[in-house]
Amino acid sequence: MNQHDVVKGWLKDAYAMEESISKVLENHVGDAKGVPMVRDRLQQHLDATHRHADLIKGCLDRMGEDTSARKTGMADISGMMQGMMTGATDDDLVKDCIQDYTTAHMEIASYQALITAAQDIGDRQTVQACQQILNEEIAMQQWLRDHLPMVTEKYLQHAA
Ligand SMILES: [Fe+2]
């Protein structure tokens, strides 16, 4: 596999990753309906996630590639999702935020690797697209880090 194929493969992984995260975030926005500040931030990130998928699709389009998922994704999150699947318990929102925080880290690492690979083949447009996405993932990760204590306190007060 040459370096171009590596970038194409990782872009396909990234597309599949953003698509599956969209579905998870839709549920989390619903779980956060009682906490407007969290709901709004998750909705904002859901909108961003749709844009990320479009940006990645644009990179693949330029290369004449489709978005068909590969058998073994670089960042296969389905296993992780199952481990963190939330049920009908009232600590859903705390668990959602922990999951989203974890997901953001995985995305950050994936885009860092993708940026390095795209730099190596001199694909500046892919580097630019991934850098833009990376910045938004870092912002989300920082927001979750800063707000997880508040979300947790809210739940604990409610439970007391
Ligand atoms: Fe994302």
Whether residue 117 lies inside any domain: the answer is yes
Report how far apart, in Å, the C-alpha atoms of 57 and of each of 8, 34, 63, 129 are: 11, 34, 10, 10
Whether residue 107 lies inside any domain: the answer is yes
Domain of residue 110 covers: 3-66+90-159
Whether residue 85 lies inside any domain: the answer is no
The answer, yes or no, to whether residue 84 has pLDDT greater than 80, is: no
The answer, yes or no, to whether residue 40 has pLDDT greater than 60, is: yes
> From ligand 1's centre to the CA of 60, what distance in Å?
17
> From ligand 1's centre to the CA of 125, what distance in Å?
18
> From ligand 1's centre to the CA of 2, what distance in Å?
26
> From ligand 1's centre to the CA of 3, what distance in Å?
24
**What is the rounded distance in angstroms from the CA atom of residue 76 to the CA atom of residue 57?**
18
The dihedral built from the CA positions of residue 26, 29, 33 and 34, taken in this order, carries a sign that is positive
The answer, yes or no, to whether residue 95 has pLDDT greater than 70, is: yes
Whether residue 82 lies inside any domain: the answer is no
> From ligand 1's centre to the CA of 52, what distance in Å?
6
- Asked if 114 and 74 touch (Cβ cutoff 8 Å), the reply is no
Whether residue 77 lies inside any domain: the answer is no
Position 147 confidence tier, pLDDT thresholds 50, 70, 90:
very high
Q: What is the pLDDT of residues 7-38, one digit of tens each?
A: 999 999 999 999 999 999 999 999 999 999 99
Tokens of residue 85, six digits: 């699947």
Whether residue 84 lies inside any domain: the answer is no
> From ligand 1's centre to the CA of 49, what distance in Å?
5
Position 136 confidence tier, pLDDT thresholds 50, 70, 90:
very high
Q: What is the pLDDT of residues 43-73, one digit of tens each?
A: 999 999 999 999 999 999 999 999 988 776 6
- Which stretch of 2-6, 42-46, 67-71, 100-104 has the lowest confidence by average pLDDT? 67-71
Average pLDDT, the chain: 91
Residues with beta carbon < 5 A to ion ligand 1?
49, 52, 107
Interval 129-153 mean pLDDT: 97
pLDDT more than 90, % of the chain: 83
Report how far apart, in Å, the C-alpha atoms of 77 and of each of 38, 87, 140, 150, 151 are: 23, 18, 18, 26, 24
> From ligand 1's centre to the CA of 157, what distance in Å?
31
> From ligand 1's centre to the CA of 158, what distance in Å?
31
Whether residue 121 lies inside any domain: the answer is yes
Position 90 confidence tier, pLDDT thresholds 50, 70, 90:
confident
> From ligand 1's centre to the CA of 41, what distance in Å?
13
Whether residue 75 lies inside any domain: the answer is no
Query: Looking at residue 105, which CATH number applies to its domain?
Result: 1.20.1260.10
Nearest-Å Rg of the Cα atoms of the chain is 17
The answer, yes or no, to whether residue 86 has pLDDT greater than 70, is: no
Per the structure, the count of domains in the chain is 1
